[in-house]
Structure 1
């Protein structure tokens, strides 16, 4: 089974083609370029350089976030636009799952953290049990101090952090736990190859998402929605 997998949930734009358990090719840009401009060119470049045609692809994997509202919409729209005319299956995988999978078979808690601004992070807690990655919590948008309290409640001695928020909070996290590890910098962005491998596992089990219903994970309102809510609240208060 060959799949195209893409992640555009953060400033990083990444695309991969994975065949069963073999990575055929991967492109990662992490310099804040516009995903709407570069994502299709990444896919075209991979197909061309690998001597493949879009009809050779058996399925499509896309990140469902959490992350950038605009980036997630671009990724979803791109994959839906490719999969629908081909009548090929689509599976959406969380970018947090893919980040945790970057640290396969680590001991203790694995904690991916993506910057959600204002000292908040998108996160979930994971742990390996044998060869299976277990999600210990729901996906969350949470203040970094609350995350530290939550991890301490788990009473695990070893914690590994990974994600684009690591540089921002590294010192604080290092001083908060006795046995703290950090992923190397090249793993701190979501890798489309990790996303693709997780997606293939799901597709081989017969899982797939409804192409018309699948949507990103939005753990909080967009800035535009928050500004609108604030405006409505101010109008309501003024009328009272």
Structure 2
């Protein structure tokens, strides 16, 4: 099974190829959120580098959010387009799941934090004893809410995600002692590995049901509601 995965939820856009649970190709570009111009060339280079055609892909996977509104839309739209053109199934992977899978070698509780706006984080907790399982749904909240949940965790506690460094600072100031999974953030390779698991479990969807997960209203939507 060949999977092509994209992650465009943060300033670093990435693409990965996964064959039967093994990453065979990976490319990324720090495009500072200009993903509409960079992600497709990254995909093309990755396919050429591995001597593959897009038509050989069996499953198309996207990191569907939460994250940058524009970034999420670009990645989801690209994957929907590929899947629709080739009539192939899709995998919808949460940004927080992707970051958890990026830390799959860290055993214990994984607290995934991705920076949102207004001093908030997108976050979720996972348990990893060799198999990554959810302990909570994806949520959005301030650091104090996350720290309160950290205090209830027992055993090794790892912080991961692209907001992990900042969340670690909050934790240390609060007298907590979690471990930081440095460099572990959402990326297309982690998304591809989770997508392979989803394919094995029959959890795929089609292009018509692949939708972004924002968890919060956009700034324009919030302003519109405030002006009512």
The TM-score normalised by the length of structure 2 is 0.94
- Count of residues in correspondence between the two structures: 228
Question: Following the alignment from structure 2 to structure 1, what is the Cα–Cα distance between the partners of residues 160 and 52?
Answer: 33
Q: Which runs of 5+ in 1 are unaligned?
A: 233-240
In the other structure, the counterpart of 2:44 is: 44
Question: Following the alignment from structure 1 to structure 2, what is the Cα–Cα distance between the partners of residues 28 and 162?
Answer: 19
- Deviation string 1:52-77 (CA, Å, 9 cap, x unpaired) is 11111111011111111111111111
Alpha-carbon contact 1:12-1:190 (below 8 Å) kept: no
Question: Following the alignment from structure 1 to structure 2, what is the Cα–Cα distance between the partners of residues 170 and 31?
Answer: 26
Alpha-carbon contact 1:157-1:179 (below 8 Å) kept: no
Mapped pair 1:211 → 2:210: no
Question: Following the alignment from structure 1 to structure 2, what is the Cα–Cα distance between the partners of residues 11 and 213?
Answer: 26
Alpha-carbon contact 1:158-1:179 (below 8 Å) kept: no
Question: Following the alignment from structure 2 to structure 1, what is the Cα–Cα distance between the partners of residues 192 and 165?
Answer: 26
Question: Following the alignment from structure 1 to structure 2, what is the Cα–Cα distance between the partners of residues 179 and 158?
Answer: 10
In the other structure, the counterpart of 2:181 is: 183
Shift of 1:133: 1.0
Alpha-carbon contact 2:88-2:206 (below 8 Å) kept: no
Query: Which residue of 216, 223, 227 maps to 2:223?
Result: 227
Mapped pair 1:145 → 2:144: yes
In the other structure, the counterpart of 2:101 is: 101
Question: Following the alignment from structure 1 to structure 2, what is the Cα–Cα distance between the partners of residues 97 and 124?
Answer: 8
Aligned ranges 1:1-240 → 2 under 5 Å: 1-129=1-129, 131-152=130-151, 154-185=152-183, 187=184, 189-232=185-228
Question: Following the alignment from structure 1 to structure 2, what is the Cα–Cα distance between the partners of residues 177 and 215?
Answer: 39
Shift of 1:155: 3.7
Q: CA RMSD in A?
A: 1.5
- Deviation string 1:94-127 (CA, Å, 9 cap, x unpaired) is 1111111122152332111111022210010011
Question: Following the alignment from structure 1 to structure 2, what is the Cα–Cα distance between the partners of residues 30 and 114?
Answer: 17
Shift of 1:145: 0.9
Q: Which runs of 5+ in 2 are unaligned?
A: none
Q: Which runs of 4+ in 1 moved over 3 A?
A: none
